[in-house]
Structure 1
Amino acid sequence: MLKRIDHTKMGSSDLGWLKSKFHFSFADYYNPSNLNFGTLRVINDDLVEAGTGFDTHPHRDMEIVSYVVNGELTHGDSMGNKRTLSRGHVQYMSAGTGVLHSEHNFGEELLRFLQIWIIPNKKGYEPNYGDYLFDWNDRKNKWLHIVSSKEGDAPIKINQDSNLFALELDKDQEIDFKVGKDRQAYLVQIEGSSDINSIVLNMQDALEITEEDIKIKALETSHFLVVEMKK
């Protein structure tokens, strides 16, 4: 089963320094019928102006993944980590029993990144941080496995049976993605436009996929993120 999510009908926020699209209920956007998709609790498509950002704030009991689309994202936290990531790079934080962190755009250009929250398989993990500077070419016309469970083989591992994949597909190229029995996936059209099983997605649209294989054709060069998980 497939369900297209039109980005123009998503929740949104404009704070001046921060403009966001909310795939699920978040902050002042609350929709009781759109709280999550399986263990996927949050995908926020954030635009952060230069010289601004999220000052230090707390999180707990959530697996948080940030995927940088454009610009520079600088992370700091109460565990002593400080890192700056750019296009295609990924950071992960297990908030566990509690952590303080900040996310800023100290660069000169607009920052766009996807903030992804996944519900862990249990509460009370020890907080943890990691990041990975993926080579952009590793997602050119092929799936790049960026996140998996602790039992999986992706470079970044989280406390949940979930997988994240990234892809840049050249115009007119095609690729498959399989979603088997008792599995589901949430696909984000980050950039470009595509035809997926005769459903057209435009930039910032999304697609819920339940127990169905898909074939993607890029109508223009396209950039995707997929979160695959147990149903």
Structure 2
Amino acid sequence: MIDIRPFASLGHADHGWLDARHHFSFANYHDPARMGWGKIRVWNDDKIAGKSGFPPHPHRDMEIVTYVRTGAITHQDSLGNMGRTGAGDVQVMSAGTGVVHAEYNLEDEDTTLFQIWIETDRPNAPPSWGAMPFPKDARDGAFQLLASGNKEGGALTINADARILGATLQGGSRITLEADPARHLYLVSSAPVRVNGVQAKARDGIAITDEKSLVIEGDADAELVLVDAR
């Protein structure tokens, strides 16, 4: 099953400094049919104006993944962590027993990113944060593992049975990926793609389950982000 969630149908909130699209119910956007996809609870497509950002606020018992599309985001938290994550790179925060964090765009230009929340498998775990660069040429034509709950080498670790993957697709080419029909996959592409023959436009949400494999084709260069979760 491949269900397309058109970009125009997503929840929308424009706060001036923040222009956000919500793939699932979030804040003042509520759609009982879009409360999540498996263990994926939030997928926000955010544009954050330069010299602005999210002031300190708390979280607990959630795995929060930030994939920076353009620009950069600077993280600070109550654990003493601080770091800048640039375009194409990823940061993860396991909120665990509780953490207060802030996310600022200290750049002069807008930052665009995906913020993805996955329900934790380890409630009350110690909170943690990590970030890692992922050069885009390493994922040209194939998915690269960015974060995982399996402590796989070369990827960031989260406390959930999930994988976050990224790829770049050249126009006129295809990527194939094996899938477990029992799991929930969610894919967003920066350009139009076909997934097992089903057409999706740029930044549409593509909700996938009951599929044994994926064939992703595009006519233009695209950046792909995919989450595979229970």
Instruction: Normalising by structure 1, report the TM-score.
Output: 0.96
Q: Aligned runs of 1:189-204 on 2, under 5 Å?
A: 189=189, 191-204=190-203
- Distance in 1, Cα, partners of 2:26 & 2:154: 28
- Distance in 1, Cα, partners of 2:38 & 2:183: 10
- Distance in 1, Cα, partners of 2:187 & 2:163: 12
- Distance in 2, Cα, partners of 1:85 & 1:151: 21
What is the CA deviation profile of residues 120-165 of structure 1, one whole-angstrom value per residue up to 9, with x for unaligned ones?
Answer: 0131010001010111211111111111113544511111110111
Q: Is the 8 A contact 1:148 1:154 kept in 2?
A: no
Instruction: Letter of the 2:204 partner, please give it.
Output: D
Residue 206 of structure 2 corresponds to: 207
Question: Secondary structure of 2:220's partner?
Answer: coil
Residue 105 of structure 2 corresponds to: 105
Displaced runs of 4 or more, over 6 A: none
- Distance in 2, Cα, partners of 1:198 & 1:134: 29
Residue correspondences, number: 229
Q: Aligned runs of 1:1-231 on 2, under 5 Å?
A: 1-189=1-189, 191-212=190-211, 213-230=213-230
Question: Secondary structure of 2:138's partner?
Answer: helix
Question: Secondary structure of 1:228's partner?
Answer: strand
Q: Is the 8 A contact 1:195 1:219 kept in 2?
A: no
Which consecutive residues of structure 1, in runs of 5 or more, have no partner in the other structure? none
Question: Secondary structure of 2:137's partner?
Answer: helix
Instruction: Letter of the 1:143 partner, please give it.
Output: F
Instruction: Letter of the 1:201 partner, please give it.
Output: A
Percent pairwise identity:
34
- Distance in 2, Cα, partners of 1:224 & 1:13: 24
Moved more, 73-82 or 174-183: 174-183
- Distance in 2, Cα, partners of 1:218 & 1:194: 4
- Distance in 2, Cα, partners of 1:151 & 1:72: 26
- Distance in 1, Cα, partners of 2:181 & 2:56: 41
Q: Is the 8 A contact 2:96 2:122 kept in 1?
A: no
Give me the CA root mean square deviation.
1.1
Instruction: Letter of the 1:84 partner, please give it.
Output: R
What is the CA deviation profile of residues 62-103 of structure 1, one whole-angstrom value per residue up to 9, with x for unaligned ones?
Answer: 000100000010110011111111111100100000000000
Instruction: Normalising by structure 2, report the TM-score.
Output: 0.96
Q: Is the 8 A contact 2:35 2:41 kept in 1?
A: yes
Question: Secondary structure of 1:118's partner?
Answer: strand
Question: Secondary structure of 1:117's partner?
Answer: strand
Deviation of 1:192 (Å): 1.4
